[in-house]
Structure 1
């Protein structure tokens, strides 16, 4: 072997040993491992047709969200509050436009605090994420309006309204008689100024009775004869019209909550507003969570995902939870340790429960058990 020019004759030349040639089996194994690693990495980000649900954040309706109060009131006196009234939410991953990777789904399958659902079980087929967001945003605005009406009426304020007929219900006594755009003015000759008044008057009428509904039709006063039917919910007299309602609030109420949609916060919004507008400190230092829709006449309605909301409430320090009566079957067996659950059907019941919790007199509160 020739000696390199930079070496002298007294410098030994050391040859590096040649590496052994890898066997065919070793090469095959190495290639297989690389392929497996690449495959696993690909599977971990592979989009799926599932939705992951978990306990979401909670928000204090007596507190702030970001830098603004969740509820602000102008035009009347407000009072200091203590304690917290926390509306609860469900967080989610996955939508028609944003699929969940397989690795996230696997994690949720083994996590007892999370759950996995088929995409079609959560989202209607054909709806885009933007369309879904628009719907849930509209639901939130509607729930805040209904909560404001229910709370103010409960506290003795008069909330007048303009009620415009959107359409008649097929098969009802109003079909073919009312017209879209008719504005309700009277019932049986009595001026109607609020939705609560209209509902109250109908409660005094037997289903099947023919009544005179006065409407403003394009500026002309028209009396319409409508035979009522029985409302499918409670058998009360039903006019058979769908109304759009514009409220005239006696005070200015603003409710804001960023990045939260849906209608399930209605009850907690109503309770928060009532606590702010009354001298009594209803919560009295307690952390009370809850959920439930709120109608403008004060009924608490059922919601979805209550198991997640119970877990989120405990995580954020709640000792009590107000739950819709109609969700009781989902509550039983899913109540976390340290949480008392009160079943409510109306705003009156929810407010009474809040007062009892604040006073420490909770022995007679109804539960789901």
Structure 2
């Protein structure tokens, strides 16, 4: 018995001390996009009439262990046995040796982009026009454009050819050979910001000439920028939410904006949660961690869960008791389903199935 006890103690010590290449995912907190977070409204709209709301349109999250956390074998086994948690290979969450700082930055960028897309999608659903423009999203260090172009500069044309989409920039640049000059017609970022603040369209442009360089991946010409899109909204929409990352709250932000900008209430006082990325045209995309988001929503008190169509089959295989899954493919699908809920027309709701 003494020998067996010593062996058991040794195994327990090894289990506690021996790290394994796994990470853990678990249900995270939910936030009502119609409510407050840290004492201030999540959605803040000014310059446009808003209307009272009630109920819940909760975004859901997943909590994950950090990139530098080293799980031991005892924790891994416990996670595998826990129904609401998922243990996955460390590289699944942090591929290519991604650090915690890199992951946090990437999630913050995705979260910021999802907010912009949510605003555009919501206003599109309401028929409110939004001006879209091509801008310099980032400038590569030690590139030909460094010091000449800056993040936020509005790109109007390249070599005299008007630019309407981010891809248009590269299409014009690669027409040049490395070492040749290319001319950008821009509105400097500070001028564009000043015009937007004054509620006017920027009128001052200037030409910037840049000598192209050879791409490290081939013989094509580059200037070392990443082009993106920026939007000019007819009024101010701010989303105030800290310590959240990733793109999966897009749908719920968009619905919250729609609710605040329209008379009546989308939820009719009901507790509705959901998830899903959203693009500027209102298309809802799939997300990760759907099973844990369902658990988080149920634990928070949700009765209905707006589920991206591509996540439906997985979600339907293990749905928490008392939670009804509603299938959505676009923001229009979501608003129509919420209308059916208000009318009590539950039979016609698009439901998730395992097939």
Q: What TM-score do the two structures reach when normalised by structure 2?
A: 0.73
As a proportion of its length, which structure holds more helix? 2
Match of 1:153 among 107, 119, 124: 124
1:349 maps to which residue?
A: 333
For residue 49 of structure 2, the aligned residue among 77, 83, 96 is 77
Could you give the per-residue CA deviations for residues 142-180 of structure 1, whole angstroms, max 9, x where no partner exists? 10111011112221222112224889xxxxxxxxxxxxx
Shift of 1:184: 5.2
Q: Does 1:51 align with 2:16?
A: no
Structure 1 alignment gaps of length 5 or more: 1-28, 168-180, 199-214, 222-241
Does the 8 Å CA contact 1:45/1:103 hold for their aligned counterparts?
A: no
1:100 aligns with 2:71: yes
Judged with a 3 Å threshold, the aligned counterparts in structure 2 of structure 1 residues 263 and 166 are, in CA distance, closer, same or farther, namely closer
Give the SS at the match of 2:349: coil
Which of 276, 295, 317 is the equivalent residue of 2:260?
A: 276
Contact in 1 for aligned 2:156/2:162 (Cα 8 Å): no
Distance 1:133 1:191 in 2: 32
Tell me, in whole angstroms, the C-alpha distance in 1 between the residues paired with 2:297 and 2:101.
29
* Distance across 2 between alignment mates of 1:272 and 1:45: 47
Q: CA deviation at 1:114?
A: 1.4
* Contact 1:52-1:115 within 8 A present in 2 as well: yes
State the distance in 2 between where 1:313 and 1:352 align.
Answer: 21
Superposed CA RMSD in Å reads 3.2
1 CA distance for matches of 2:135 and 2:105?
23
Contact 1:87 1:290 in 2 (8 A): yes
Aligned pairs (5 A) from 1:1-369: 33=5, 36-37=8-9, 40-41=12-13, 43-93=15-65, 95-164=66-135, 183=155, 217=185, 243-369=227-353
Secondary structure at the counterpart of residue 332 of structure 1: helix
- SS at 2:95 equivalent: coil
Higher relative CO (Cα under 8 Å, sequence separation at least 6) belongs to 2
How big is each residue's C-alpha offset from its partner over 1:37-72, in whole Å with a ceiling of 9 and x where there is no partner?
Answer: 365245324332111112211111011112121111
Give the Å deviation of 1:361: 2.1
Per-residue deviation at 1:318?
Answer: 0.9
Instruction: Give, in whole Å, the separation in 2 of the partners of 1:184 and 1:358.
Output: 46
Conserved in 1, the CA contact under 8 Å of 2:134 and 2:163?
no
Bigger shift: residues 144-153 or 39-48 = 39-48
The alpha-carbon deviation at position 33 of structure 1 amounts to 4.7
Match of 2:245, SS state, is coil
CA change 1:191–1:260 in 2 (3 A) is closer
Offset, 1:81? 0.8
For structure 2, the residue ranges without an aligned partner over 5 or more in a row are 139-152, 167-182, 187-204, 208-225
8 Å contact kept, 1:150–1:270: yes
Q: Does the CA-based 8 Å contact 1:284-1:359 persist in structure 2? A: no
Cα 1:35/1:336, change in 2 over 3 Å: closer
What is the CA–CA distance in structure 1 between the aligned matches of 2:13 and 2:297, rounded to whole Å?
Answer: 36
Larger radius of gyration: 1
- Taking structure 1 as the reference length, the TM-score comes to 0.70
Cα deviation 1:185-204 (Å, max 9, x = unaligned): 7xxx9997xx8xx9xxxxxx
Determine the C-alpha separation between the residues in 2 that align with 1:159 and 1:77.
17
Query: Contact 1:47/1:101 (CA < 8 Å) preserved in 2?
Result: yes
- Helix, strand or coil: the match of 1:149? helix
